[in-house]
Amino acid sequence: MSEHQQREWKASWRDEYLKWICGFANAEGGVLEVGRNDAGMPVGLVDAVRLLEEIPNKVRDVLGIMVDVNLRQEEGKALLEIVVPAYPSPASYKGEYHYRSGSTKQELKGAALTRFLLRKQGLHWDGVPLPGLSLDDCQPAALEGFRSRAAKSGRVDTAVLEDGDYALLASLQLDEGQYLKRATALLFGTKPERFIPGASIKIGFFLTDDDLRYQDEIRGNLFFQVEKTLELMHSKYLKAYISYEGIQRVERYLFPLQALREALLNAVIHKDYASGIPIQISVYENRVVIWNPGQLPNHWTQQQLLAKHPSHPFNPLLASAFFRAGYVESWGRGIEKILSECRKHNIPPPLFDTGLSGLMLTFCAESGQLAEALGGNVLPHSVQTPAEIPSATQETTQEATQEATQETISGSVSEKVVALLRRHPAITRRELAKQLGLSEDGTKYHLDKLRAAAMIRHVGPTKSGRWEVLK
């Protein structure tokens, strides 16, 4: 016999042990045995009869709950057994909220306390009304974009889509009386971070853990964040390999894009937005790490997460909106789809870390794995920084270098850059970024890559010069 989630031993009684009773009541219930030492041996109570009467009254007066207190005899020694039921409403000890987790007692504070109180009321964080948020704070383009996607998915009645904006929000259960809910700001808000700090995504490319080469931060409504992040990962951050099937050029990325898409959607939908911390994506040469400040559902294990399981979204209103817009399924198949895509792509399943700091997925692959799978006839379409590109080709002949370099930069984004420079030689990098729909850092990356390949050059002063297309 030992202590566990629902059992605690104390050698003698102290009034501070009311905190342990509070913790049991707020969790799954449990038994506090008084008169047993830490080794589980009975040591007895000399005042057991008096405590048999006092403890129930103290629990009632301080915690506002009722417990059963039983007198037991073991090896001729008196023990008290305090049986605490799990309470549907929160119990507090003098304004403090305690919770039994494993064999420990924790005082709930901050975001953890907020989650606990909402859960006890049958609510979720994204369903709480947000004073100060109105329809004027919503972006018309975001609402229209949702209508368009929902019409294609067929998951929202046509009459609802043709109705006004407020009626649409009401159909998504995003209103409560005169208020709109937190999920509304995230899904359709012009500036969600005005109401919800940290509602953004950070992505960076690392050579090593402490060598960040470039980064982007994506802000805006969640639909925009997902689309923009996927675009940046595809055009700027991920490595692809090029092979040929006859005369047809085939590009294959080191990581399955569909798996990364599902992982990103899971992070956005299940994130704990009360944390105030952005989702963080770290891209390396041969791995991608997606982290979000979220957590598994209560009492879930990692094994349950990886097995077939029912849908259990941390933010049900966000999950519903993404489902109706056709981004996700409603049956908790995200993890299953990620594993399936990794198998198809011949890379290991991602590593899951469900520690206290959040949820982290790490996709790992070796460049050689994919090269071997494609028969070795590959050329890397890489996210190397401009300074590294020449050194990668120093040992090749000039002819081979030019051929490989031209192959590397022949992606659609680079072609658009060249076309724009031909038409507008005096265009600035900022104007070019707007035309391409990229960040200035992303545009600089493509310009530097083209210059390193001797495809373009800039003539004259930085601000007033012009571009020349050389090839």
- DSSP label of 357: T
d(Cα 231, Cα 416) in Å, to the nearest integer?
A: 15
Report pLDDT for 1: 59
d(Cα 253, Cα 241) in Å, to the nearest integer?
A: 6
Backbone angles phi, psi at 364, to 5 degrees: -125, 140
Per-residue pLDDT of the chain (471 residues; tens, 9 = 90+): 566 788 999 999 999 999 999 999 999 999 999 999 988 899 999 899 999 999 999 999 999 999 999 999 999 999 999 999 999 889 999 999 999 988 889 999 887 888 888 888 888 899 999 999 999 999 999 999 999 999 999 999 999 999 999 999 999 999 999 999 999 999 999 999 999 999 999 999 999 888 999 999 999 999 999 999 999 999 899 987 777 777 777 778 889 999 999 999 999 999 999 889 999 999 998 899 999 988 766 665 656 566 665 667 889 999 999 999 999 876 667 788 899 999 998 889 998 887 657 889 999 986 555 555 445 444 444 433 333 333 332 333 333 333 333 333 334 677 888 888 888 888 888 888 777 767 677 777 788 778 877 788 888 877 678 888 887
322 in Cβ contact with 311 (< 8 Å): no
Going from the N-terminus, what domains does the chain have, and what CATH number goes with each?
7-123 (3.30.950.30), 126-192 (no CATH), 201-313+325-373 (3.30.565.60), 384-469 (1.10.10.10)
Give 390-396 contacts, CB < 8 A, sequence gap 24+. 390/452
263 in Cβ contact with 353 (< 8 Å): no
Report pLDDT for 127: 93
Report pLDDT for 126: 94
Report pLDDT for 244: 73
